[in-house]
Amino acid sequence: MDYLIGSIATLATIFFVSKRLRLATSRLQISTPLYTQSQTFNLTRFSEGAYLYDQNLPLMNIKTQSTDFFDKQHTRVVIYDDHAYWVINNALYTAEFDGKEVVKDSAKEVDTMGMSKVELDHMVFIVDLLTEGNSNDFGNSGNS
């Protein structure tokens, strides 16, 4: 019986306190900021005004199936001294570049046998630019 009276008194106290708190908090106006997807995107996108942008971060080259497909479908071209250079089937080709486009009629394979040391160094530099990032350049035939 003692516990019954104590339980009823406790429930009554909880009821009146919760009623009182509900009335007190209903008068308060708390404005919560609404964050939309567009506001969050504007804060985190990669632009000069964004908080998360760091110009010193290196660009990541992610290797995926789509980047592999893109690389197979397109040829890398280096424009150097009004000439365009590219590699197809392990052969280096060159053509004249008129400032807007490559003159396709002037395309020819580069003959490295008759070049001087300076010209060869020049071609090595261009081939390094064309093949940078290619992980297929192993240096051996694979026959062991």
Domain count, the chain: 1
Say if 88 falls within a structural domain.
Answer: yes
Say if 30 falls within a structural domain.
Answer: no
Distance linking the first and last C-alpha atoms of the chain: 94
Domain holding 87, by residue range, is: 75-131
Q: What is the pLDDT of residues 98-114, one digit of tens each?
A: 888 888 888 899 888 88
Q: Is the pLDDT of residue 50 over 50?
A: no
Q: How far apart are CA 130 and CA 91, in angstroms?
A: 12
Residue 138: what pLDDT?
52
Go through the chain and tell me how many residues it has: 144
pTM, entire model: 0.50
Q: How far apart are CA 104 and CA 95, in angstroms?
A: 7
